[in-house]
Amino acid sequence: MQTRRRQIEDVASALFSSRGYAATSMRDIARALDLQGGSLYSHIPSKEAVLAAIVEEAAEDFHAAVRPVAERPGPAAERLREMIAAHVRVVTGGRERAKVFLFEWTFLGEDRRDAVARSRSAYQGYFERVVAEGVAAGELSAPDPKLSAVFILSAMNAIAYWYRPDGALGPDALAGHYAELFLRGLQAHER
């Protein structure tokens, strides 16, 4: 039973990710599992509950990967590099789930949507605080740490749209480039 539910969530992730939640019907999900539409409801209570399960698991993955790094002591730049690597690994490691979490969560009902909004805000806070700590230590320059956090998160989240596992750039190389862009920008590196 647990297994069947998992299969439903995996198929739903793929379909929600590629067509969007609203444009995916329960019968689309059932068809991919060789079931009749109504049969899904012996395993799940509603379409929204499937979305919620996907979203909540992905949210947990992101927090678990990034929070420990953010709260560790050490140079801010170094922690940011690792946080970027962790975030990119979660995105690329489960592209479909990540995409649904990042871009389809607004289709949740009010209560769950509010909870996700709070969770995302807390998550953004990890980046914001590490940037601010780097500034306070004289290590980094950022007039608006919150905007810096939004900036790097926006860039990383969009990876869920275009990343392909068989592409030229692996997760760590990609994360390395993004960290470099975030921390040093396009400035010609003086040596």
Partner DNA sequence: CCTACCGATCGGTAGG
Could you list the residues that contact a second copy (CB under 8 A)? 20, 22-23, 77, 80, 103, 106-107, 131, 134, 138-144, 147-148, 150-152, 154-155, 157-159, 162, 169, 174, 177-178, 180-189
Tell me how far apart the alpha carbons of residues 19 and 37 are, in angstroms, rounded to a whole number: 18
Which residue number, 63 or 120, has a Cβ lying nearer to a second copy? 120
Per partner kind, with CB cut-offs from 5 to 8 A, the member of a second copy, DNA, none near residue 81 is none
Residue 18 binds DNA, judged by CB under 7 A: no
Encode 100-132: b = buried (16+ Cβ within 10 Å), e = exposed.
Answer: bbbbbbebbeeebeebbeebbeebeebbbbbbb
Comparison of 109 and 170: residue with beta carbon closer to DNA: 109
* Structural contact between residues 131 and 80, judged by C-beta atoms closer than 8 angstroms: yes
Nearest-approach distance from CB 105 to DNA, in angstroms: 17
Residue 99 C-beta-side C-alpha neighbours within 13 Å: 22
Q: Using CA atoms, how far apart are residues 146 and 148, in angstroms rounded to an integer?
A: 5
User: Which of 41, 64, 136, 161 lies at the binding interface for DNA (CB under 7 A)?
Assistant: 41
* Positions in the binding site for DNA (CB under 7 A): 4, 24-28, 34-39, 41-43, 45-48
